[in-house]
Amino acid sequence: MEGIKMSSSKSIMSTHIFSTDHKTIGKQFLFLGIFFLLFGGFQAMLIRWQLAYPEQPVPWWLFGSIVNGEAGMITPDVYNQLFTMHGTIMIFWAITPLLIGAFGNFVIPLQIGAKDMAFPTLNMLSFWTFFLSGVVLLVSYFLPLGVASGGWTSYPPLSLPAGGIPGLGQAFWTLSITLMGVATMMGAINYVITVIRLRAPGMTYFRMPLSVWGLWLASILNVIFVPVIAAGLIMLLTDQLLGTQFFLAGRLAAGGGGDPLLFQHVFWIFGHPEVYILILPVWGIVSELLSVFSRKPAFGAKITVICMSTIVVLSSVVWGHHMYTTGMSPLLGKTFMFLTLLISIPSSIFFFNWLATLWRGSLHFDPPMLHTMAVIWVFAIGGLTGLYNATVTADIYLHDTMFVVGHFHYTMAASVLFGGYAAIAYWYPRMFGRMLNPLLSKIHFWGTFISINLVFFNMMATGYAGQHRRLYNPGEFEFLKPLADINIFITISAFILGAFQILFLYNFIHSMVKGKVAENNPWKSNTLEWTMDYPIAHGNFSTAPQVVNGPHEYSNPNVKDADWVCQTVKIGNES
């Protein structure tokens, strides 16, 4: 639509498909992310079905006989493939494009007053490389022996041919993630440089909205740590395809061999920052939105930024807490535990700032705000339960149990999902010029909020009761038999959760066509992305905006007749 208006001579190819406009690329990432979110979510439903009703035919409404052949039963190898691909897709192809891809692209240039990304062509290449990596991943579903089934961590030797997983699925997995890393890298370089170089005049670092801060810090982590996993994956790939033995040892390695633990180290040196790469944009968006919908400046915004940066630094030295049970040396275990627990300090401080932003505010419970407050709730649970896993002794018991699964779903799935929904609801008017239906949004919110807690809290409970991860059938063990009821309960909650996401999808698509046409600044927000008319032309700003305020001047007593003031408007009484 916008392309035709802008210049009719340009073809659909250059305005909608191979566009270099950051807004179009952001939308492309958003659609791709939602597609993979649904795909990964569907796999989660199948996993839950198997855990609650082991070895019973999958019902028609989960496409049982289509997915699993005539009998409709999930076999152990299919089950392993399901949870492997669920984790992989959700982390790398759903959350990453949804937050960093979509909102990094859409929001960063608009909020800092830039015309586009620093390298628009690179940006487009980033999306298409990402798309290609997704295609490689999906192609592996058509391999005769199936997709990867070594878990999303893909520890060797299991993930090597010697480990017993047949076919090329694992190699496709490695290859697609390497490609995804290249795409992420291109995007991350772009975001980092854009923020450093293309800020509008007057947009100092501390006048940047906090959502930009979150996305920017995540991109910095990406630039540093994606090459690390790329190195590990290249080594894994040569092990899988060319017969090197970097990560083989023991009997499987004829004549020599390497060390499987090396892969775990490399994986988690990247893997732990990756957790923060996923959550940092959410922290930024939450800090920003709380301020907008409380009509009050973000409390201690500078301190929040400093805390987030501290966590970025700390996140790169705590990878060992994923490996307490590998038999690491006592000194290392203690060091990693100490460093990990240190993260509780900055997190508690910005948490405190979030709550203080609400304090004495004027809270408007629009859909974005509901999702934002849900992030406070779920991230509080997720963050606090991290304490168990950071503690060496408690982790010896809880490692590799459903407790860990519940914990990281609270931090990574629930928080990121709500953060993503908040961001979609908030920027939807800017992206599509229309509002999401508020009633449907609220129904979707409450359904999601209640069911997601029932799912993940009870997952932690089953883990506390001893149920270990990645079990095809928990009923094999006597000590897990009493948990059958809880597992059924989780599964039913998960189905409800899934059903509510279909409601969201309906709302998302329907509102794009039939939604209420949005005003230019429906949330009365200060930041620059709300200053222009919809649709926003390629190039965003006709003249470079001159920024004179911080992003959070809500309810400033010097502003007459309004509780907000755009970042480019000088505040009243000084003149």
Partner 1 sequence: MKKIIKTMTGGIWLVDPPKDISLNGYRIDNVIQYTDFVITLYFGIVVVSLIFFIWRYNARKHPHAVYDLGNTKKHRYLTVAMGLLVFFSIDVVIESMAFKDLKEAFWKFPKGEDVVRIEIMPQQYAWNIRYPGDDDIFGTNDDIVPPQNILHIPVNTPIVVQLTTYDVIHSFYLPNFRYKQDATPGMVTAMWFQAKETGDYEFACAELCGNSHFKMKGFLTVESKDEFDNWIVAQEPEVTDDDDDWGFEEEDEGVPTKWGWQWKELK
Partner 2 sequence: MSPQVQSADSLRIECDMDTSKMGVLVSLGGIIMLFVTFLATFSAMVAKELATINLNGDTIIVAGVTTLLLILSSLMFHSSYNRWNVRNGTTNFNYLYASAFFGIVFLFGQIKLWLMLVGIGFTSNGNVLAGMVYLIGAVHAVHLIVGLSILCWLGYQLKNNRQVKSVRYQMIGWFWHFLTVLWCIIFVFFIIIL
Binding residues vs partner 2 (CB under 8 A): 2, 5-7, 115-120, 122, 185, 189-190, 192-193, 196-198, 223-228, 230-232, 234-235, 238, 242-246, 253-259, 262, 265-266, 269, 532-539, 542
C-alpha to C-alpha distance for 371 and 418, rounded to whole angstroms: 5
Nearest CA to 356 among 298, 307, 305, 309? 298
Nearest to partner 1 of 5, 251 (CB atom): 251
Nearer to partner 1, 160 or 279 (CB): 160
Q: Smaller CB distance to partner 2: residue 20 or 372?
A: 20
Neighbours of 251 (CB within 10 A): 9
Which residue lies nearer to partner 1 by CB, 15 or 353? 353
Name the residue nearer to partner 1 (CB basis): 66 or 355: 355
Q: Is 218 left (phi over 0), alpha (psi -120 to 50) or beta?
A: alpha
Instruction: Give the phi and the psi of residue 517 in degrees, each rounded to 5.
Output: -65, 135
- Tokens linked to 30: 């958003």
**Closest distance of CB 414 from partner 1, Å:** 14
* 63 contact choice in partner 1, partner 2, none (CB below 5 to 8 Å, kind-dependent): none
Cα gap 187→193, rounded to integer Å: 10
Which of partner 2, partner 1, none is residue 539 near (CB under 5 to 8 Å by kind)?
partner 2
In the complex with partner 2, the residue whose CB is nearer, 198 or 483, is: 198
Residue 166: DSSP 8-state: -
The nearest distance, CB 466 to partner 1, in angstroms, is: 4
User: Phi and psi (nearest 5°) for 468?
Assistant: -85, 165
CA 51, 86, 235, 277 torsion-angle sign: negative
Closest CA to 21 of 98, 101, 100, 123: 123
Nearest distance in Å: CB 231, partner 2: 4
- Those residues whose C-beta lies under 8 Å from the C-beta of residue 533, and which sit 6 or more positions away, are 520
Closest to partner 1 by CB, 306 vs 544, is: 306
Judged by beta carbon distances under 5 to 8 A according to partner kind, the member of partner 1, partner 2, none in contact with residue 535 is partner 2
C-beta of 249 vs 376, nearer to partner 2: 249
To partner 2, the closest distance from the beta carbon of 355 in angstroms equals 36
DSSP 528-542: GGGSSPSSPPTTS-S
What are the residue ranges of helices labelled H in 316-343?
330-342
Distance linking the first and last C-alpha atoms of the chain: 42
Burial class (CB in 10 A: 0-12, 13-18, 19+), 397: middle
Q: Which does 300 bind (CB under 5 to 8 A by kind): partner 2, partner 1, none?
A: partner 1
Q: Minimum Å distance from CB 435 to partner 2?
A: 17
CB of 556 to partner 1, least distance (A): 6
Q: How far is the CB of 250 from partner 1 (least distance, A)?
A: 3
400 binds, among partner 1, partner 2, none (CB under 5 to 8 A by kind): partner 1
Query: In terms of CB distance, is 121 or 325 closer to partner 1?
Result: 325
Q: How far is the CB of 331 from partner 2 (least distance, A)?
A: 16
Rg (CA), the chain: 24
Cross-strand partners of 434: 517
> Considering only CA atoms, which of 352, 358, 350, 351 is closest in space to residue 294?
358
Q: How far is the CB of 326 from partner 1 (least distance, A)?
A: 5
